[in-house]
A = this chain, B = another copy of it.
């Protein structure tokens, strides 16, 4: 008989209990922070219509879509991101949805690429989005939530020692500049795709690619100069104070001060993001040490996504925060709490033989009714194996039931760990009723 492939599908992950505890901890922190900021959880199905992702050429999502045709001939995809589903759901509600709405999701997302070895084809992504609020207060609130989560993991975000950095930009800075050159709409989106790659492809190739869109070398040089600025004053000097992107960034920085996180943010106009639907502020969160080249999280404003779906324009802004990069960082720095690394069982009940199973089950039932986490060891193994397993499982107590214990309506309770103190306790004291005489 041939053996099945024991691996998960290429690029996907199995979550064994040890991995799952880490995931549960991360998801729990995400949910806690989102609730603190007044966000409500939503979800869509991991299987979505392909049409939601067919966008501008060069959009990183469209290029790596995990799409297929289902048995009914539908063009579907395993969602690469949840934002288009959010836009669809918001559109479907129409005017009945009270605005602004603050929604969050923890969504498994897929991509199909053949590139890097070991790169995953799925991950989970925390998304928070503000719907129907044009003010930069929304961006600031979202960044504050990201910071609140990062702080909750144990990373330092103080002004003295800030272990992360939010690189903030606004596409309107360059958009407005290009409008002056007559480059708008799809051509602007195409420029964004090129700019997004300019670090990888280098100065000459960038100028060459921009030339392909009809941008002269002089203008291309000025674009590259904008990308290199590190402060608002410097950017203003190039594009002028009346540039709407500059004034938006100025307002945003003021909001970030109110939230106490301005010191975490830095203007970096080379941040552009790979998604074609962004229209305003865009940002990426990085490990400040620079040891990880990949962003921890990213976000942006996309006020025209619903319009591109055929709906009435609606202000929307949000972020995506993956589970993989942050887990690497926390693991490297030893910030995964011991309680997450270890199992969390309270009691193991050990009936020494099958004759004691009935009382063991009654005892387990009574302990569970008291809210304790209880496993019964039905293995009838030798005592030392039972103790070892209970300790490996992180149990606090081992409750031993032999012939004598059952006869005397008692149980031997051994504290596990360093102490190993043993004492006998009446079953009735632990909530097990005495048997009714016949």
A residues near B (Cβ < 8 Å) are 1-10, 12-17, 20-21, 23-24, 35-38, 40-49, 51-52, 66, 68-72, 74, 76, 78, 85, 88-89, 91-93, 98, 100, 102-103, 108, 110, 112, 114, 122, 133, 135, 137-138, 140-141, 144, 148, 254-255, 257-260, 308-311, 343-345, 348, 354, 357-362, 365, 368, 371-376, 378-379, 389, 392-393
Query: Contacts A12-B47, A44-B15, A46-B108 hold; do A3 and B38 have CB atoms under 8 A apart?
Result: no
How far is B345's CA from A223's CA once the two chains are assembled, in angstroms?
Answer: 45
Query: Contacts A36-B374, A68-B68, A373-B36 hold; do A44 and B8 have CB atoms under 8 A apart?
Result: yes
Cβ distance A339 to chain B, nearest Cβ, rounded Å:
13
Query: Contacts A5-B49, A38-B374 hold; do A358 and B254 have CB atoms under 8 A apart?
Result: yes
Cβ distance A376 to chain B, nearest Cβ, rounded Å:
7
How far is B67's CA from A356's CA once the two chains are assembled, in angstroms?
Answer: 48
Asked if B259 and A47 sit within 8 Å, CB to CB, the answer is no
Asked if B378 and A133 sit within 8 Å, CB to CB, the answer is yes
Asked if B310 and A48 sit within 8 Å, CB to CB, the answer is no
How far is B348's CA from A91's CA once the two chains are assembled, in angstroms?
Answer: 26
Cβ distance A36 to chain B, nearest Cβ, rounded Å:
5
Cβ distance A82 to chain B, nearest Cβ, rounded Å:
11
Question: In the complex, what residues of B have CB within 8 A of residue A259's CB?
Answer: 361, 365
How far is B138's CA from A7's CA once the two chains are assembled, in angstroms?
Answer: 28
Q: Name 10 A/B residue pairs within 8 A (Cβ), A-sorted.
A: A5-B49, A12-B45, A21-B41, A45-B122, A47-B110, A68-B69, A71-B112, A100-B378, A137-B357, A258-B358
In the complex, residue of chain B having the shortest beta-carbon distance to the beta carbon of A68? B68
Asked if B255 and A361 sit within 8 Å, CB to CB, the answer is yes
Question: In the complex, what residues of B have CB within 8 A of residue A138's CB?
Answer: 378
Question: In the complex, what residues of B have CB within 8 A of residue A348's CB?
Answer: 38
Residue from B102, B144, B362 in contact with A365 in the complex, judged by beta carbons closer than 8 Å: B144
In the complex, residue of chain B having the shortest beta-carbon distance to the beta carbon of A17? B40
Question: In the complex, what residues of B have CB within 8 A of residue A361's CB?
Answer: 137, 140-141, 144, 255, 258-259
How far is B138's CA from A6's CA once the two chains are assembled, in angstroms?
Answer: 26
Asked if A137 and B258 sit within 8 Å, CB to CB, the answer is no
Question: In the complex, what residues of B have CB within 8 A of residue A141's CB?
Answer: 361, 376
Residue from B14, B17, B76 in contact with A41 in the complex, judged by beta carbons closer than 8 Å: B17
Query: Contacts A43-B20, A45-B9, A361-B140 hold; do A3 and B310 have CB atoms under 8 A apart?
Result: yes
Query: Contacts A70-B112, A258-B362 hold; do A9 and B47 have CB atoms under 8 A apart?
Result: yes
